[in-house]
Amino acid sequence: MIFAFEKRKTVSRTAIVVVPFVSFLASLFLTGILLAAFGANPLTTFGAMFKGAFGSGRALTETLVKAIPLMLTGLGVALAFKLKFWNIGAEGQLTLAGVAATWVALYWSPWLPSPLLLPAVVLVGCAAGALWAGVPALLKTGLKVDETLVTLMLNYVAILFSEFLYYGPWRDPKGFGFPGTQPFPKAAWFPRIAGRAHIGLYIAIAAALILWIVLNRTRWGFELKVIGNSPKAARYQGIAVERNIVLAVLLSGALCGLAGVGEVAGISRRLQQGLSLGYGYTAIIVAWMAQLNPLAIPFVAVLMGGLLVGGDQVQMVMGLPSSMGLLMQGMMLFPMLAGSLFTEYRIKRVGSQAVRESKIGAA
Amino acid sequence: MKKTLSVFCVLLAALAVIGCAKKEAPAPAPAAAAVVAPYKVAFVYIGVPGDLGWTHEHDTGRLAVEAAFGDKVKTAYIENVPEGPDATRIIRQYAQDGYDMIFATSFGYMDPMVEVASEFPKVKFVHCSGYKTAENMSTYFGRIYQARYLSGIVAGKMTKTNIIGYPGAFPIPEVVRGINAFTLGARSVNPKVQVRVVWTNTWYDPVKEREAAVALLDAGADIITQHQDTVEPQKAAQERGKLSIGYDSDMRKFVGDTVLTSPVWNWGVYYVDTVRKGMDGTWKSDQYWEGLSADVVRLADFSPLVPQDVKDLVSVQKQKIVGGTWDVFTGPIKDNTGKLRVNDGAKMSDGELLGFDWLVEGVVGKVQ
């Protein structure tokens, strides 16, 4: 008996739902082997992780604190990926938006009426994220420059620029020379819901819904889908491919930017070291795990946030090295990527007869 | 498509319910004040104990606490905790898990610790190298600059190119103070010495630290010292056949005799004392900043490559510092633009030292 992969004519709906779950279980199993190899009881460890991430009100809010930027960057990245625009610059878009939000919060507050400050922080932050994504979008559509490289490189530019600011001209004069800007005025703070979880959560969920509606229920969403499947076909249909790519990527950058705004205005309330802890990269895992579906992203983000927060327990309770947490994150992605094979292909049993025929055919 | 949307809403509702349910769950009843319960002490590390430098020394201090109190204490640590908002969660987690005393061993944990300290008035918080305190939060640090000065004398005597390379983590007072002390030491015996600084903007990144050292070696440095957390700069120097001065730990043990000496930490002295005070109830919030005389900082043993006359020179200065008759930052001191900053005979105050934001004459570099 021989098995072969056969491309499915349509993507299986059951597979779309089942595969992520099975992949998740498979990754738990693989991680379990790893834990056992390190002499830790996998079940105890998973139990401790779950408790650490969801086991109390406080733990849950901390998981949400991580999930909020993952949701927003996940949505941003997924939108770009739908168009096969490989935006791996979420990190930079997030960072630059954090910088822009800081600029508004600290330097516009003297003359801007305080009720307008927070909206201005959000808008300017998003605009900065969009701008940072717009550069590679224009380079790609105008000059056919590869966006993967440009978005990645711009991450470093944004991060170094933010460091320059909080080490240099924006450094808190009352901070004994330590890096970091002064704290934001209260008017520029994101209201918090519970613990440190802030209204960015509502914004992110609303963004997920809106993005889903836009992609599935509007003409523009349809055009984006066509472009994603085949830019050529889109062009024949008279769709303005370049313009739409640029618009969608600007939106993608704005979403990632929103994550950065949330981090500075909702969590740290100043610009300092540790603005982004790789959210922009984890977002890529989130987007793929959610199969680029905006409605699935909030849940996957909560799961991933839980994994990050629960990962601390691996050290604090189980006494394992910190790299274990990172390893587990990586372990999540592999079965997921392998799993996506099954949504697009199915396994078919091939008789020996068929094989012989195909061999003859090949010869 | 409608189906997907409704599934989404159901899941969302479920999540909200779980969230609320969890929040309403009663908090676990506080454990009865058992006399036998060990005193729980937690340490938050920026790197890993295996860095052989900064975190290694803090972990050595933690082990000293375990050795001193045995079963009466329980210690725990977490490594690789990023500075900034993530640290808040970690510190809070320890406080919530019933730890009695928490040590945070990097500057960037300051604001997170202040935040958590206000929420847990009964837990004792101890923060390394910062300046903010509270009723239940102390700071501690050592005058490592004294040992730096002494190591500078060794380097100043033994350099041939008169260029010394100094990869520095961040342009913050702690690091600037060390660079200045080292440079003053080196120039006290060799006024031609130039100390070239490269900022890596990281405490712990073996690759970046090595690259910075290599760049400095390329620029003509024949001795490398550093304010980083690993032994990579020293190793890089050794591979080029050059000398080095360690930091944090006695790096000669890990690298070899090309490490002439190292200013080292001896945290055990402070940790054991502080934990004892916590256990017997005499702990009070304070700002600990002691040096060579309290043995919390030391100059490690010399490499056989260091000649006797240099050792003698160091010994004389060390006596002055330990005896309290003289300290490193006594004028006249000029900055590296030639401006006189500290008048002849004047001594910089602790406040000025804690906010050091200029480099002394002889340092090639800039505080950004």
Instruction: List the CATH number of the domain containing B179.
Output: 3.40.50.2300
Same domain as B327, residue B235:
yes
B150 lies in the same domain as B47: no
Cα distance between residue A125 and residue A263, in whole Å: 11
Q: How much is the mean pLDDT over chain A? A: 87
| Residue A13 clears pLDDT 90, i.e. is over it | no
Distance from CA of B75 to the nearest CA of A (A): 11
pLDDT digits (tens, 9 = 90+) for A233-273: 998 988 889 999 999 999 999 999 999 999 999 999 999 88
pLDDT in tens, B319-355: 999 998 899 999 899 999 999 999 999 999 988 998 8
Task: Please tell me which of the candidates A60, A65, A209 has its beta carbon nearest to residue B19.
Answer: A60
Query: Are A322 and B89 a contacting pair at CB < 8 A?
Result: no
Res A342 pLDDT > 70:
yes
The identity of residue B38, as a single letter, is P
pLDDT value of position A353: 53
Question: Which residues of chain B have a CB within 8 Å of the CB of A293?
Answer: 4
Q: Answer with the one of B294, B310, B337 that is the final residue of a domain.
A: B294
Task: Please give the Cα distance from A317 to A314 (Å, whole number).
Answer: 6
Mutate to test the interface with B, among A273, A308, A324, A326 (most CBs of B within 10 A): A273
Task: Tell me, yes or no, whether B196 and B74 share the same domain.
Answer: no
Q: Are A72 and A258 in contact (CB under 8 A)?
A: yes
Which helix (H) or strand (E) segment holds residue B297: the answer is: strand B297-299
Q: What is the DSSP letter of B70?
A: G
Give pLDDT, residue A24.
80
The secondary structure of residue A185, as a DSSP letter, is P
Are both B136 and B232 inside the same structural domain? no
- Residue A218 is predicted with a pLDDT of 94
- Please count the other Cβ atoms lying within 10 Å of the Cβ belonging to residue A174: 8
Residues 138-167 of A with CB under 8 A from B: 163-164, 167
**The pLDDT value given to residue B30:** 47
Chain A hits for B11, CB-CB cut-off 8 Å, are 299
pLDDT tens by residue, A212-240 = 999 999 999 999 999 998 888 998 988 88
Which of A168, A216, A268 is nearest residue B368 as measured by Cβ atoms?
A: A168
Whether residue B14 is contained in a domain is answered as no
- Check CB contact under 8 Å for B79 and A52: no
Whether B3 is in a domain gets the answer no
B255 burial level (CB within 10 Å; 0-12, 13-18, 19+): buried
B89 occurs within a structural domain: yes
User: Residue B12: closest CA among chain A residues belongs to which residue?
Assistant: A299
B25 in any annotated domain = no
CA of A205: which chain B residue's CA is closest?
Answer: B12
Name the CA dihedral angle for B286, B289, B291, B294, rounded to a multiple of 10 degrees: 0
Q: Does A181 touch chain B (CB under 8 A)?
A: no
pLDDT of residue B29: 45
Amino acid residing at A63: T
Looking at residue B131, its pLDDT comes to: 85
Tokens of A355: 């094989």
On whether both B354 and B245 belong to a single domain, the answer is: yes
User: Is the residue at B233 inside a domain?
Assistant: yes
Q: Give the per-residue pLDDT at B368.
A: 64
pLDDT in tens, A109-153: 899 998 999 999 999 999 999 999 999 999 999 999 999 999 999
Q: What is the pLDDT of residues B157-170, one digit of tens each?
A: 999 999 999 999 98
Q: Is residue B15 a part of any domain in this protein?
A: no
Q: For B251, list phi and psi in degrees, rounded to 5.
A: -70, -15
Q: CB contact, 8 Å: A268 with chain B?
A: yes
Q: What are the DSSP E strand ranges found in B62-145?
A: 73-78, 101-104, 124-128, 137-142
**Domain interval for residue B103:** 37-142+266-294
| Number of structural domains found in chain B | 2
Measure Cα distances from A153 to A69, A130, A133, A177, A260 in Å.
Answer: 21, 16, 12, 30, 18
Q: How confident is the model at residue A211 (pLDDT cuts 50, 70, 90)?
A: very high
Give the minimum alpha-carbon distance from A202 to chain B in angstroms, rounded to a whole number. Answer: 12
Same domain, yes or no: B168 and B114 = no
The verdict on B55 and B204 lying in the same domain is no
* Residues of B in Cβ contact (< 8 Å) with A214: none
Is residue B110 located within the same domain as residue B189? no
Are B176 and B315 part of one and the same domain?
Answer: yes
Q: Choose the weakest-confidence range: A47-61, A324-338, B264-278.
A: A324-338
Alpha carbon distance A260, B300 (integer Å): 45
- Range scoring the smallest mean pLDDT among A94-108, A306-320, B353-367: A306-320
Lowest mean pLDDT among A343-352, B60-69, B226-235: A343-352
The angle formed by the CA atoms of residues B297, B358 and B82, to the nearest 5 degrees, is 60
B173·A168 Cβ contact <8 A: no
Same domain, B327 and B283: no
Whether residue B148 sits in one domain with residue B135 = no
Domain boundary among the residues B275, B294, B313 is at B294
B39-44 sheet: strands from edge to edge: B73-78, B39-44, B101-104, B124-128, B137-142, B287-290
Please state the φ and ψ torsions of residue A299, each to the nearest 5 degrees.
Answer: -70, -45
Contact B48, B84 (CB under 8 A): no
Which phi and psi angles does B326 have, rounded to 5°?
Answer: -155, 145
In a domain, B107, yes or no: yes
Q: Are B96 and B154 contained in the same domain?
A: no
pLDDT digits (tens, 9 = 90+) for B281-324: 999 999 999 999 999 999 999 999 999 999 999 999 999 999 98
